[in-house]
A and B are shown apart, each in its own frame.
Chain A
Amino acid sequence: MVLDYIGVKEINGSLIVLDGVKGAFNEEIVDIRLENGTMRRGRIVQMDGERIVVQVFESTKSISLVNTKTRLTGRPMEIPLSKEIIGRILGGSGKPIDGLGDIYPEKMGNINGTPLNPVSRVYPKNYINTGISTIDTLITLIRGQKLPIFSGSGMKHNELAVQIVRQAKIADDDGKGFCVVFAAMGVKNDVADYFKRSFEEFGVMNRVVMLLNLANDPIIERILTPKCALTVAEYLAFEHDMQVLVIMTDMTSYAEALREFSSSKGEIPGRKGFPGYLYSDLASLYERAGMVKGSKGSVTQIPILTMPNDDITHPVPDLTGYITEGQIVLSRSLQGQGIYPPVDVLPSLSRLMKDGIGEGYTRAEHQDLANQLFSSYAKVIDARSLASVIGAEELSPIDKKYLEFGDAFEKRFVNQGFTENRTIEQSLDLGWELLGILPKSELDRVDDAILDKFYKPVR
């Protein structure tokens, strides 16, 4: 017997409250029909006996206390999954919006997913060659990793993401098993369009699944977007052995949507008004990256987030950094100097890099070179701050060498063209060439044997 519940008891923001509901379960999806025939969907988020609180995905606009009929669907939030989903454009809650009709499901996937058993994970080791010197050499991306880009408004994070997609040799041999899941959360239409055009330009659009929740779409749908995207990604990776790269932009908008929703539920706010469970919530997304036993596929995540006011201690980048396996930080001052990609290498990090590089992966001395570049560049920053106080002329000869090294490092190593695809050999050799600016005695992170082989002082 299907019951319709007429009217609602209370409406508050995106939440509606119904009373006298029997047989509902936690997180169940409900259909809400308005008098004028429009349909809305919602999810049960809280229950007290027969009183249930429902979160409405679209919005509660024009819902009144009497004009609705609500029906329990008996299912949790699920989306249809099939291999045919590749190449499609979906809305934020997983419904196709490209006018090509519904997806015929091979199976239905619960968007909340379930946590991966840590025992079943395979520790990621295969590195992804992105063709970008800073990333390949210093912040190596590993298949199955979650590596966010910390950026700010107006910086070139989208270009960087596009360049990674274009250049990344993520797939096995002929690239058949490669696909991109792109989730846009609260981004401007132009941004979504830029990604779409770029994918079309390099002819990978038939390997992309796009989920779009634009800046003017409802926030509740925004909360579902990454969950849907990752459900699709997990399905393709673990059931169809594909190498899936998930790009999620912008995580800050997602977190803000979560904050808006939480405050309308009347929850106790934590830092900067974000809910206390923001960490657990973000983790439930980011942890859905990885590789598992018994499948050749992988889910690699590149979430993009804009740091409000370029503040890396803001709760969203801060909590993200605690969950993800490193971060790529972009710098406004480098961008100001016309350097692209404006990667600020010192705060950037890849936690999985140490096991995916070196002998058998890249080159034996890769780790030593990376350590030395980090360490020397850190000294450049010290020398620069000293120079800004006493003037560059007054610096000791060593410090002057560091300034020279720093400039060359930024202009030649960090800086590279949008279409320039450097091999790992080229990047590593360039690193050694730049270290040649410094005297050998300054290179204290590298064994002498390696120095003898690679170090060539610049005359």
Chain B
Amino acid sequence: MMKQLDKNDVIFGINGPVVTVKNSRSFSMMEMVYVGEKQLVGEVIRLSGNETTIQVYEETTGLKPGDVVVGTGAPMNVTLGPGIMDNIFDGIERPLAAIEEKSGSVFISRGVSVPSLDENKKWDVHITVKKGDKLNGGDIYATLPETRIIEHRCLVPPAVSGEVVKTVKDGKYTINDAVVVLRDKNGKEHPLTLCQKWPIKTPRPVKQKMPADIPLITGQRVIDTLLPISKGGTAAIPGGFGAGKTMTQHQLAKWCDADIIVYIGCGERGNEMSQVLQEFKELVDPKSGRPMTDRTVLIANTSNMPVAAREASIYTGITLAEYYRDMGYHCAIMADSTSRWAEALREISGRLEEMPAEEGFPAYLPSRLSDFYERAGRVKTLGGSDGSVTVIGAVSPQGADFSEPVTQNTKRFTRCFWALDKALAYARHYPAINWMTSYSEYFTDLDPWFERELGREFIEYRSKLSAILQEENSLMEIVKLIGSDVLPDDQKLIIETARVIRVGFLQQNAFHKEDTFVPLEKQKLMMKTIIHLYEVSKGLIQRGIPLSRIISLGLFDKLTKMKYDIPNSRLDMFSDYEKEIDDALNSTLTAEFN
């Protein structure tokens, strides 16, 4: 709703995306405003006695002093309702496909005004409440199939409660039709439509936060076994360019077992977004057999789109995820990349001539980052269901230097740190997550779940695997100086086994149909087989059999390829592998002593 027009509210100054208004009393902090003839969207970011500062979310070319600024009376908000799934928005929730249609151009022209969600589409609504029911904020009053796999549950806005006084019959309605009317205790009536508004910078309320004790299963071996993340957890993926941040995020978005994926392309490449669009359409969700897009929403604010909207895109994304979380879904956000978002903050801060802290970033960078990551979590929703928002943010450190402010501050507020390594990427070892410098803090939270679902052995294998990698790491220091030939056989065995783990286990081929997603059970059996070979070989070496004899059997090479050779549906083949190892090594032993 527009406020009364005040003719004094006109532009005074313009500097890039920042516009100032002199001597106005009509605005409030964070209020959304329309600027100029074309009604460009902006937000009030600073107020002082005689000056109001507004950041504009679109190009400011053509604006002039004297142009009118109109307030909306509400903070920057998004529309939440059916039609979000399988859609692609810009940073302030404008649907890009609808913009294309309306403007008839492949370029984004300014000031195109289209509603965020389709207002004409009729949804098949089922009303779940009846007259006389008492509803509170977060309760479900209607459901409808949003896509084939996502049931949209309409929720009473958090601040509203009361008694149902009127409902409509089940049937087809648009998002702006009132389907239920509530009367609160003051006798005021609240018509509830299929959608609601929510300010993007305010977290949606929950009943309580829950412990992070269920893993988010990604099917990526290095993550699931060595660096697991929980549902509702937070992770950072830092890496220089070309290290595979985007690739890793694509893999997670495709395969992780969240119900809803919110993919935020924040200041990234346009071609990448069109790739995501295309690939997700072609990709079939293994659980439902429907295209991936049915459970995905994309927020695309590419690097050449206005910088202020880039700042907003992160908040828009997390607000959408929170909305679906409140319906009782597990959501995962891929934010690629949070560094671009931090740079947007820096750019706007520079225009405001604020005092810079480290590397020109504003001093409030850490608090903004923590505000964002703290919106993640597994929760009991107001309506009493179980939902979660997992946040996985890519970080693009300048010069691949992890000591820069964005990486360092992100590290403080996330609990998983998946550091991508340039050297691994150069050798085309993907995912290039460095197992020595990365960490996960979720082990203690998640181990009971792993023990329950996969047995105690899973945890044992995992520790043995890490121990071998750790030992290899220290041995490599020596090897780098004097070569591996001088090492004794038992240490050479560590190096050989670590090679199998690196190439055959940690390295995963996203383009191979068996290897792109690997179920936990297979991950466990792969570890088991590798550890088995290691332990049996170790026994043989202790009995004096040279390692070269054991290697010549070809077992190590065979295990590096088992990820391809054993299909995900034929886990019984692992016992054949184990038998083959035992037979081959036994016969070696017999041959040696005869």
Contacts and interface: CB of A to CB of B under 8 A. Distances in A.
Interface of A: 23-27, 46-50, 76, 110, 112-124, 144-145, 238, 267-271, 275-277, 279-280, 283-284, 286-288, 290, 292-295, 313-315, 318-319, 321-323, 325-327, 346-347, 349, 351-352, 354-355, 367, 371, 374-375, 378-379, 385-386, 389-390, 394-396, 399, 441, 444-445, 447-448
Contacts of B265: 118
Contacts of A314: 399
Contact of A288 (B304, B359, B399): B304
B2 interface: no
Contact of B107 (A47, A115, A269, A349): A115
B347 A277 contact: yes
Given A24-B64, A117-B107, A352-B271, 4 more contacts: A112-B59, A116-B108, A284-B304, A390-B482
B106 A280 contact: no
A351 B428 CA distance: 13
B108 A115 contact: yes
Interface in B23-60: 59-60
Nearest to A266: B353
Contact of B483 (A120, A287, A396): A396
Nearest to B353: A268
A124 B270 CA distance: 11
A26 B62 contact: yes
Contacts of A292: 106
Contacts of B453: none
A124 B278 CA distance: 11
A238 to B, nearest CB: 7
Contacts of B360: 268-271, 276
A121 B274 contact: yes
Contacts of A112: 59, 61
Interface in B388-441: 396, 398-401, 422, 426-429
Contacts of B481: 389-390
Contacts of A120: 100, 105-107
A371 B429 CA distance: 9
A115 B427 CA distance: 35
B63 interface: yes
B88 interface: yes
Contact of A48 (B12, B16, B275, B302): B12
Contacts of B396: 322
Contacts, number: 222
Question: Majority SS of interface residues in chain B?
Answer: mixed
Q: When A and B form their complex, which 3 residue pairs have the shortest distance between CB atoms, in order from nearest? A: A313-B399, A283-B303, A378-B427
A280 to B, nearest CB: 5
A318 B302 contact: no
A334 to B, nearest CB: 15
Contacts of B241: 318, 321-322, 327
Interface in B299-349: 300, 302-305, 307, 340, 343, 346-347
B171 interface: no
B132 interface: no
Contacts of B96: 117-119
A23 B62 CA distance: 11
A330 B466 CA distance: 37
Contacts of A318: 240-241, 398-399
A26 B61 contact: yes
B564 interface: yes
B128 interface: no
Contact of A47 (B13, B302, B485): B13
A288 B106 CA distance: 12
A265 to B, nearest CB: 10
Contacts of A110: 61
B593 interface: no
Contact of B557 (A283, A319, A441): A441
Contacts of B422: 347
Given A318-B399, A447-B564, A118 B270 contact: yes
Interface string B274-303: 110110000000000000000000001011
9 contacts: A25-B62, A26-B61, A26-B63, A49-B65, A118-B265, A118-B273, A119-B88, A268-B356, A268-B360
Given A25-B63, A117-B96, A268-B350, A346 B343 contact: no
B511 A367 contact: yes
B96 to A, nearest CB: 4
B507 to A, nearest CB: 9
B109 interface: yes
B241 to A, nearest CB: 4
Given A115-B305, A347-B242, A76 B480 contact: no
